[in-house]
Amino acid sequence: MNQKSNLLLGKIVSSDITQKLSSSIKDLKNKNIIPKLAAILVGDNPASKIYIKNKSKFFVKNGCESETFNFSSDSNQSEIISCIKQLNNDDSIHGILVQLPLPKSFDDSIILETITPKKDVDGFHPYNVGKLFSGNPQFIPCTPHGIIKILDYYKINTSGKNCVVIGRSNIVGKPMFALLSQKFETGNATVTMCHSRTNNLRHHTLNADIVVCAIGIPNFLKGNMIKKGSVIIDVGINRIVENSAKKSYKIVGDVDFESVINIASHLTPVPGGVGPMTIAMLLYNTVSSAKLNNT
DSSP output for 81-98: HHHHHHHHT-TT--EEEE
pLDDT of 241 reads: 79
d(CA 16, CA 277): 11
pLDDT of 1 reads: 42
Q: Between vectors from CA 227 to CA 224 and to CA 231, what angle results, nearest 5°?
A: 110
Annotated catalytic residue: which of 36, 55, 119, 149? 55
Annotation says 99 is catalytic: yes
Annotated catalytic residue: which of 36, 118, 120, 122? 122
> Residue 228 contacts by C-beta under 8 Å, 6 or more apart in sequence?
263
Annotation says 19 is catalytic: no
d(CA 290, CA 288): 5
Which residues of the chain are under the pLDDT cut of 50?
A: 1-2, 4
Q: What is the model's pTM?
A: 0.94
Model pLDDT for residues 29-71, shown as the tens digit of each residue: 999 999 999 999 999 998 899 999 999 999 999 999 999 999 9
d(CA 268, CA 291): 31
d(CA 48, CA 218): 19
Annotation says 55 is catalytic: yes
* Structural domains of the chain, with CATH: 32-116 (3.40.50.10860), 142-275 (3.40.50.720)
pLDDT of 3 reads: 52
